C-alpha cells in the first residue's frame, strides 16, 4: 500500500485563521477524495478541509447540547419543577421592568 502526502487547509480557530497540515493517506483514499472534490469543482484538499470542519462543528454542537442540558438541569433543580412557559412569562416581566427603568432614565 502506497502512502502519499497531501496538504489540507483546516480551520484551526474561530477567527477563521487557516493553518496548513500534512495528512498521510493511502493512495486509494486520496484518489477517492480527488473524485469527490471534482464533483464539487474544488481541490481535494479543500474537500477534506470541508469534511474536517463539518466533523468539528458536529462535535462542538454535541458539546454545547450537553452543556445546555446541564444548565437546564441545574436551573430545574434550583427553581423546582417550573415549566418553560412560566419561565418565559417571568423573563418577560423582568424585561418589562428593565425597559421601564430604561425609559425613565434621564438623558435618553
pLDDT tens-place string over residues 45-82: 889 989 999 999 999 999 999 998 888 888 778 777 77
Give the Cβ contact number of residue 12 at 10 Å.
13
Confidence of residue 36 (pLDDT cuts 50, 70, 90): very high
Confidence of residue 23 (pLDDT cuts 50, 70, 90): confident
Q: Is the predicted pLDDT of residue 91 greater than 70, yes or no?
A: yes
Q: How many Cα atoms occupy the beta-carbon half-sphere of 69 within 13 Å?
A: 6
Which whole number is the average pLDDT over 1-9? 46
pLDDT tens-place string over residues 74-89: 877 877 777 778 878 8
Q: Is the predicted pLDDT of residue 13 greater than 50, yes or no?
A: no
Q: Is the predicted pLDDT of residue 27 greater than 80, yes or no?
A: yes
Residue 76, φ and ψ in degrees, nearest 5: -65, -40
Our CA dihedral for 68, 74, 75, 79, rounded to 10 degrees, sits at 160
Residue 17, φ and ψ in degrees, nearest 5: -75, 125
Under a CB-based contact definition with an 8 Å cutoff, are residues 57 and 10 in contact?
no
- Measuring CA to CA, which residue among 56, 64, 70 is closest to residue 12? 56
Cell 418589562: give the residue. Answer: 96
What is the residue extent of each domain of the chain?
A: 3-80
pTM (whole model) above 0.75: no
Amino acid at each position: 500500500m502506497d502512502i502519499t502526502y497531501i496538504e489540507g487547509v483546516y480551520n484551526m480557530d474561530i477567527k477563521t485563521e487557516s493553518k496548513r497540515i500534512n495528512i498521510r493517506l493511502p493512495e486509494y483514499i486520496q484518489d477517492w477524495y480527488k473524485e469527490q472534490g471534482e464533483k464539487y469543482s474544488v481541490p481535494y484538499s479543500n474537500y477534506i478541509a470541508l469534511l474536517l470542519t463539518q466533523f468539528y462543528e458536529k462535535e462542538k454542537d454535541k458539546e454545547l447540547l450537553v452543556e445546555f442540558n446541564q444548565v437546564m438541569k441545574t436551573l430545574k433543580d434550583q427553581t423546582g419543577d417550573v415549566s418553560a412557559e412560566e419561565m418565559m412569562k417571568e423573563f418577560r416581566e423582568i424585561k418589562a421592568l428593565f425597559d421601564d427603568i430604561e425609559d425613565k432614565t434621564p438623558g435618553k
